[in-house]
């Protein structure tokens, strides 16, 4: 009898997890607060990812992760907090700077003619947040002059900060901040990209010395645009709060924060996100939730301090 019950329970569990696996990703019928992926895609102006069953997404993600050690056997790059996987996905989604950092032979796998044949899964999902951030950074830069720093926190192998200040005046600067081992790896492959335009700064953003690293990244510019893309996912709530406080305390006149990440709030309610930023001295000025881990996208600006207009 006991054996039969155990078997039944195991069967029921298996069936319900299979049900989950067949559910389409990015479509939450039971959550009215979360827009489906195709609505997010329309809002950011990109093609929607394929609403395939979750098991298809999971299979592709795992297969890709398993391939990485072979693809990088020669250059020794490792997948710290999935940053290498994201690099490939960004290249597949059409990011030329990402493509330039990939190993010369293997990158042909995601070269322009071939990339059209990949089903629009993870790379298109990442493209949504990348496009949101590219546009948000561009809009923040337009708000003032070129005495500005664009600083990517937890930049991984991403090249947005460098790209954002290209063709701006000599005072516009870019910096990428990440863990020392990641910065060392990025430095080792930058030879593959022509004239990379961001300073690379090694810092554990959950540890000591964050304020000094941010000050160095800003380099005495009058304003800063911080970019946080899928970094807070890897920090605990206290470290994420400390990082926001360090951003608020940045030594310049204006601070913007463009994010596509996970905030320490339940669900994706805009009022909760606004409260979180208000508690840390920021106004949330733009907000768009998106299915996935980096589910909160938006722009926050530091409230003017006493004496600032
Ligand atoms: C998912 S990857 C995202 C990389 C990049 N922002 C992108 O979207 O292409 C997360 C990045 O956060 C970095 N990271 C995680 N914990 C960190 C910490 N404590 N300090 C600095 N960087 C950290 C990882 O090294 C990794 O590069």
**pLDDT tens track of the chain, all 309 residues?**
556 665 555 544 544 455 566 676 766 666 777 889 999 999 999 999 998 999 999 999 999 999 999 999 999 999 999 999 999 999 999 999 999 999 999 999 999 999 999 999 999 999 999 999 999 999 999 999 999 999 999 999 999 999 999 989 999 999 999 999 999 999 999 977 667 899 999 999 999 999 999 999 999 999 999 999 999 999 999 999 999 999 999 999 999 999 999 999 999 999 999 999 999 999 999 999 999 999 999 999 999 877 665
CA of 155 relative to ligand 1 center, distance in Å: 6
Claim to verify: residue 96 and residue 174 sit in the same structural domain: no
Q: State whether 211 and 200 are in the same domain.
A: yes
SS3 of the chain: the string is CHHHHHHHHHHHHHHHHHHHHHCECCCCCCCCCCCCHHHHHHHHCCCCCCCCEHHHHHHHHHHHHHHHHHHCCCCCCCCHHHHHHHHHHHHHCCCHHHHHCCCCCHHHHHCHHHHCCCCCCHHHHHHHHHHHHHHHHHHHHHCCCCCEEEEEECCCCCCHHHHHHCCCCCCCEEEEEECHHHHHHHHHHHHHCCCCCCEEEECCCCCCCHHHHHHHHHCCCCEEEEEEECCHHHCCHHHHHHHHHHHHCCCCCEEEEEEEECCCCCCCCHHHHHHHHHHCCEEEEEEEECCCCCCEEEEEEECCCCCCC
Tell me, what CATH number does 240's domain have? 3.40.50.150
**CA 188 / ligand 1 centre spacing (Å):** 17
Q: Which residue owns the Cα nearest ligand 1 atom 14?
A: 154
**Do the domain assignments include residue 23?**
no
**Would 308 be classed as within a structural domain?**
no
104 lies in the same domain as 239: no
Helices 54-71, 2-22: inter-axial angle, 10-degree rounding: 80
Tell me which residue has its CA closest to atom 9 in ligand 1. Answer: 158
Ligand 1 pocket mutation pick from 64, 81, 211 by most atoms within 8 angstroms of CB: 81
pLDDT at 32: 73
| Same domain flag for 180 and 249 | yes
d(CA 162, CA 175): 7
pLDDT at residue 238 in the model: 97
What does the pLDDT read at residue 97? Answer: 93
Check whether residue 60 and residue 138 sit in a common domain: no
**Does residue 43 share a domain with residue 110?**
yes
Last residue of a domain, one of 93, 123, 153: 123
For ligand 1, the distance from its centroid to the CA atom of residue 145, given in whole angstroms, is: 29
Residue 25 in domain: no
- Ligand 1 centroid–CA 266 distance in Å is 22
Tell me whether residue 112 is in a domain. yes
Same domain, 226 and 109: no
Same-domain status, 103 and 136: no
The confidence score (pLDDT) of residue 124 equals 97
Q: Are residues 119 and 63 in the same domain?
A: yes
Residue 256 placed within a domain = yes
> Domain for residue 110, yes or no?
yes
Are 88 and 225 members of one domain?
no
**Is residue 88 assigned to a domain?**
yes
Tell which of 94, 123, 152 closes a domain: 123
Pocket, ligand 1, Cβ cutoff 6 A: 80-83, 86, 154-156, 158, 178-179, 182, 204-206, 229-231, 234-235
* Structural domain boundaries enclosing 294: 126-302
User: Within a domain: residue 4?
Assistant: no
Domain boundary among 106, 123, 140: 123
Q: How far is the CA of 231 from the centre of ligand 1 (A)?
A: 5
Cα–Cα distance for residue pair 178/154, rounded to 1 Å: 5
pLDDT at residue 8 in the model = 54
Please indicate, yes or no, whether residues 154 and 180 belong to a single structural domain of this protein. yes
pLDDT of residue 7: 55
**Structural domain count, the chain:** 2
pLDDT recorded at residue 305 = 75
| Protein residue whose Cα sits closest to atom 4 of ligand 1 | 156
Q: Is there a single domain that holds both residue 55 and residue 109? A: yes
């Amino acid at each position: 009898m006991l054996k039969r019950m155990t078997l039944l329970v195991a069967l029921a569990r298996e069936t319900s997890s299979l049900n989950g696996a067949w559910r389409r990703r990015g479509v939450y019928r039971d959550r009215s607060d979360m827009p489906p992926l195709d609505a997010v895609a329309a809002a950011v102006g990109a093609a929607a990812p394929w609403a395939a069953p979750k098991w298809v997404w999971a299979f592709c993600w795992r297969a890709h992760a398993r391939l990485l050690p072979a693809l990088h056997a020669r250059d020794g790059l490792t997948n710290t907090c999935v940053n290498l996987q994201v690099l490939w996905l960004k290249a597949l989604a059409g990011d030329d700077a990402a493509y330039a950092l990939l190993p010369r032979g293997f990158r042909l796998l995601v070269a322009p003619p071939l990339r059209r044949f990949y089903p629009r899964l993870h790379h298109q999902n990442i493209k949504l947040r990348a496009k949101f951030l590219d546009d948000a950074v561009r809009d923040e830069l337009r708000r003032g002059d070129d005495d500005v720093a664009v600083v990517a926190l937890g930049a991984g192998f991403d090249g947005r900060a460098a790209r954002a200040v290209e063709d701006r005046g000599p005072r516009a600067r870019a910096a990428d901040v990440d863990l020392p081992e990641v910065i060392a790896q990025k430095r080792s492959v930058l030879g593959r990209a022509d004239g990379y335009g961001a300073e690379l700064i090694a810092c554990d953003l959950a540890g000591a010395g964050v304020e000094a690293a941010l000050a160095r990244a800003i380099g005495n510019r009058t304003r800063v645009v911080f970019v946080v893309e899928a970094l807070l996912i890897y920090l605990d709530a206290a470290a994420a709060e400390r990082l926001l406080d360090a951003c608020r305390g940045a030594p310049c006149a204006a601070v913007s924060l463009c994010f596509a990440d996970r905030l320490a709030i339940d669900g994706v309610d805009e009022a909760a996100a606004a409260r979180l930023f208000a508690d840390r001295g920021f106004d949330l000025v733009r907000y768009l939730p998106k299915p996935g881990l980096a589910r909160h996208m938006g722009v926050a600006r530091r409230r003017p301090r006493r004496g600032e207009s």
